[in-house]
Amino acid sequence: MIDSAFFTQFLKISNFFTLIAIIVFIGALIFLKVLKDKRVSFSQRMIIGLVIGLILGISIDLIGSSNPIFVDYGRTEISVWYGLVGTGFLKLVQLLAVPVVFLSIIKVVVDVEGDRIKSLTGRTFATLLGTTAISALVGILVVKLFNLQGASFAADLTDSKADFMGNIAAQSFPEFFLKLIPSNMTQVMSDNGSIVSVVIIGAMFASAIRFLKVKKPAEVAPFVTLLESLKVTINSVLTNVIKLMPYGVTALVANTIVSNGVAAIMGMLGFILALYTGVIIMLLVYVVMLVAMGLNPVTFFKKSFTTLVFAFSSRSSVGTLPYTLKTLQENLGVSGETSNFVGTLGTSIGMNGCAGVFPAMLGTLIAGAVGAELNLSFYVLVVVVVTVGSIGIAGVPGTATVAATVTLNGLGFGHTISSIGAIFGIDPIIDMGRTMLNVAGAMVSAIAVDRWDGTFNREAYDAPMVAKSDDE
């Protein structure tokens, strides 16, 4: 170890563990680049990148976790360097999230016929919130299935986390939704956590454009053309960013494991297994929904695989949104209007993982720990609170914290927030599954709404997916 400020604080390479981890990681990136040059399909490289990330993260932690140098310095330094690639890639995707949401909402509201916009809105809310209600039931089920006890997850929250959750818990239901109404357009446009506000602004602009296209078509035409040009340009930028996804997935997965440590994961294994069981059950619910619609669920998961892998790795529904829309329109036969509308709203309404399964699990756990009577009335209350509270929860990393706080407050357990710190200690691990479920739910909901509206392209859904060496 080199005990110098230059190496420990500035360069962040002060020990053998960090140096080797960086060299191995660079080797992994070179290997993925070689696969790309050999025209290996994008989906296959995504799988390989995910596996490499898992192996890399677990190996580094198992080898170094017993060494104090790794614990005190190596873990942090490796996380910083891996984050340079992983978090850097995620930021590039999130950079496009707000303009994609804004332009998508404008396009769908402007293009959709007046009568259909009402039915589209109603059916979207019904489908997203309906699947959230089911996911809340699943959350209750897995707590009972694994016989989880709330007292087992007691631990102190960090001061910043406790303050953040306390501020949310102090808000009433109307106050929470009042904050979703934007008061500063430029501020909202600079914050990925204000997606609902961006949707509201986009809808206001779109409504004005619809009116002006009738009353003053000549004056508004240049603005509409500009918006269409912006959308095409942003999609082109997005395509170039998506080509980097296999490298980003490798870094994100490895960094998640290294940052949290295998020991911490094993210590909370019961809750992790319960949550991922909930995820699997909800995926089976989607299978049933697709079969009921007369669609092959294997086709859905095959075509959405790379999108779900990225959601799993990035832990951001908003960050995944551009690729979600692309997959819905190009591979799954969903019309542009429906995919833009449902896919966009699905990042902030009815997220089945972060705002469904997870908060329902916490609500049930806490209720049992404080001695509340767990009867049918309570479970109905949990489902209602979780479903209503899922409206307006932005799909960025850490979203589940807000959803859980809103749920606990709605159930009357807001004062117990500080007693479940252990669960939030392994939040990145469970957030990966939650986010994947969010995106899968939004995509299935988009298919359901599009089929309900009669605009679904069954032939495009059933068409074989052409393997590509790059996402072009």
Expressed in percent and rounded to 5, the helix, strand and coil fractions of the chain are 80, 0, 20
Lookup: tokens for 324:
């979600």
Specify whether 141 is located in the same domain as 62: no
| Same domain, residue pair 120 and 77 | no
Question: Dihedral (C-alpha) 92, 98, 100, 106: value to the nearest 10 degrees?
Answer: -170
Distance between CA atoms of residues 472 and 460, nearest Å: 18
Closest CA to 312 of 434, 204, 217: 434
Q: Is residue 254 part of a domain?
A: no
122 shares its domain with 89: no
Instruction: Indicate the pTM of the whole model.
Output: 0.79
Residues 203, 458: Cα–Cα separation, whole Å: 29
How far is Cα 282 from Cα 141, in angstroms, rounded to an integer?
11
Residue 170: what pLDDT?
59
Q: Are residues 281 and 353 in the same domain?
A: yes
Q: Using CB atoms within 10 A of its CB, is residue 31 exposed (0-12), middle (13-18) or buried (19+)? A: middle
| Cα separation, 202 vs 437, whole angstroms | 26
Q: Are residues 343 and 389 in the same domain?
A: yes
The CATH number of the domain holding residue 161 is 1.10.3860.10
Q: Is residue 27 part of a domain?
A: yes
Cβ–Cβ under 8 Å, residues 192 and 96: no
Q: Looking at the domain assignment, is residue 216 inside a domain?
A: no
pLDDT of 41 reads 84
E strand map for 341-460: none
The tally of domains found in the chain comes to 2
Whether residue 195 is contained in a domain is answered as no
Within-domain flag for 211: no
User: Considering only CA atoms, which of 395, 381, 437, 378 is closest in space to residue 97?
Assistant: 395
Residues 269 and 403 in one domain: yes
Q: What's the pLDDT at 458?
A: 93
121 and 65, same domain (yes or no): no
Residues of the chain with pLDDT under 70: 113-115, 150-173, 176-177, 192-193, 392-402, 414-422, 424-425, 466-472
The pLDDT of residue 471: 46
Same domain, 79 and 33: yes
Q: Which domain holds residue 56?
A: 5-94
- Are 30 and 248 within 8 A, CB to CB? no
Q: Distance between terminal CA atoms of the chain?
A: 45
